[in-house]
């Protein structure tokens, strides 16, 4: 009985519903993650710094915890044939799961935290907006869909809250560091693609995922897109920061009066 319940719970055939690109279920997950993280940032805005730090740490634990738990749950799901090699940390999003605990809980890696925060937000946002690896006609709440959206959602929220609560500050003069990190990930993913059997296509650099682009141009396109998204994260950060400072300036005279 228990095995049947577990098999149904993690099956990709547990519902007749299907999720598709930019349909109501896709937008549901986007609203849940983007809206939920913004709501959480506002909700805890007036709370103590200790409460904010605790919340950030919770999402760090959720990110690495869900990533590791996936290796134990995958064999129970009919979406996979055992444990998928593709989930090894050779993609930018899975690499972030490994890096988050280091930069969050070890002060020796503090200098890397702004880079990991930016890449976490950029990579998770790119995947959530175009989740090609999770849109194959599956039910919206089957394991493969729920796990992948929640993992990227936890990763995004961890990075977002670090910026929202001022635990990390961005400076345009340092954005080159994100580019260097992306190139390092490119080399690491190339190493993984070379040593593992089969075409894993980690970091989407072996085979094009777009019919209008050739395989050879994908490494350049990936670097351009990820770095471009990092640039947008920086722009969004400074835009929101400017708005917040304007609001504070307007409130200041009222307090004095």
The dihedral built from the CA positions of residue 54, 59, 63 and 66, taken in this order, carries a sign that is positive
Percent over 70 (pLDDT), the chain: 96
CA distances from 97 to 8, 15, 120, 126, 206 (A): 28, 30, 9, 16, 22
Residues written for the chain: 257
pLDDT of residue 209: 80
Burial of 206 (0-12, 13-18, 19+ CB in 10 A): middle
- DSSP symbol at 140: T
Predicted pLDDT at 255:
56
pLDDT at 187: 97
Mean confidence (pLDDT) of the chain: 91
Q: What is the pLDDT confidence band of residue 253, given thresholds at 50, 70 and 90?
A: low
pLDDT at 252: 66
pLDDT of 107: 93
Residue 92 has pLDDT above 90, yes or no: yes
Calpha distance 27→44 (Å, rounded): 25
pLDDT band at 79 (very low <50, low <70, confident <90, very high): confident
pLDDT per residue as tens digits for the range 172-206:
999 999 999 999 999 999 999 999 987 789 999 99
Asked if residues 99 and 112 have their Cβ atoms less than 8 Å apart, the reply is: yes
Segment 19-62, tens digit of pLDDT? 988 899 999 999 999 999 999 999 998 899 999 999 999 999 99
Chain centroid to Cα 77, Å, comes to 22
Q: Is the pLDDT assigned to residue 132 strictly greater than 70?
A: yes
Closest CA to 187 of 208, 203, 174: 203
- 3 state DSSP class of 199: coil
Q: pTM of this prediction?
A: 0.93
Secondary structure element (H or E) that encloses residue 117, with its range: helix 113-129
Report the SS3 class of residue 206.
Answer: coil
């Amino acid at each position: 009985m228990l095995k049947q319940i577990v098999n149904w719970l993690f099956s990709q055939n547990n519902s007749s519903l299907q999720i598709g690109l930019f349909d109501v279920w896709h937008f549901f997950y986007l609203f849940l993650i983007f809206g939920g993280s913004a709501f959480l940032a506002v909700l805890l805005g007036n709370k103590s710094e200790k409460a904010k730090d605790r919340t950030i740490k919770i999402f760090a634990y959720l990110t690495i915890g869900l990533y590791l738990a996936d290796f134990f749950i995958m064999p129970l799901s009919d979406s996979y044939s055992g444990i998928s090699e593709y989930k090894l940390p050779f993609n930018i999003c899975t690499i972030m799961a490994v890096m988050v605990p280091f930069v969050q809980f070890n002060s020796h890696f503090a200098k890397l935290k702004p880079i990991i925060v930016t890449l976490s937000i950029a990579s998770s946002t790119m995947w959530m907006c175009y989740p090609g690896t999770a849109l194959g006609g599956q039910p919206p709440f089957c394991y493969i869909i729920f796990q992948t959206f929640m993992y990227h959602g936890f990763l995004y929220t961890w990075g977002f809250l670090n910026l929202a609560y001022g635990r990390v500050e961005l400076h345009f003069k340092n954005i080159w560091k994100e580019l260097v990190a992306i190139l390092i990930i490119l080399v690491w993913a190339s190493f993984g693609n070379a040593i593992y059997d089969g075409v894993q296509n980690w970091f989407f650099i072996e085979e094009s995922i777009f019919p209008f682009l050739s395989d050879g141009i994908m490494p350049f396109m990936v670097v351009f897109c990820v770095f471009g998204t990092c640039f947008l994260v920086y722009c969004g950060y400074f835009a929101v920061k400017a708005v917040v400072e304007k609001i504070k300036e307007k409130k200041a005279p009222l307090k004095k009066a």
